[in-house]
Amino acid sequence: MLRKLLIVLSGCLIAGSALGAGACKGKGCRYTWFEKDAQGCLTIRNAGREDIQVTVYTAGSGAITVRVMSGHTETVYKTSRACVPAVDYVRADSELAGGIFAPPV
């Protein structure tokens, strides 16, 4: 019984860490949150003051680029307008894309 519990727990930890910022590379990652909505779709939340552009790499859909405005949450969709399941998420590259509230450089 203990062995089964440990297997389930380690599976949850691995799946949970894939949705974390550790699987994201780039300057915009510190403002980016990858989450799963009620339907199991992958969502990206931008908690920063600048717009970000995120390229999401998934197991089933390949690379998908999404622009997320400051303070908003976007669901990632395939070209067929079907959402990308959160379990398909592999990694992401995120970069700052500016925005209205961006501080002057």
Assign a CATH topology to domain 2-98. Immunoglobulin-like (2.60.40)
22 pLDDT higher than 70: no
Domain boundaries along the sequence of the chain: 2-98
**What is the reported pLDDT for 12?**
46
| Pair of tokens at residue 60 | 């089933």
Nearest to 73 by CA among 41, 25, 27, 26: 41
Do strands 24-25 and 89-98 pair parallel, antiparallel, or not at all (unpaired)? parallel
pLDDT, mean of residues 84-101: 85
Those residues whose C-beta lies under 8 Å from the C-beta of residue 35, and which sit 6 or more positions away, are 19, 42, 43, 44, 45, 73, 86
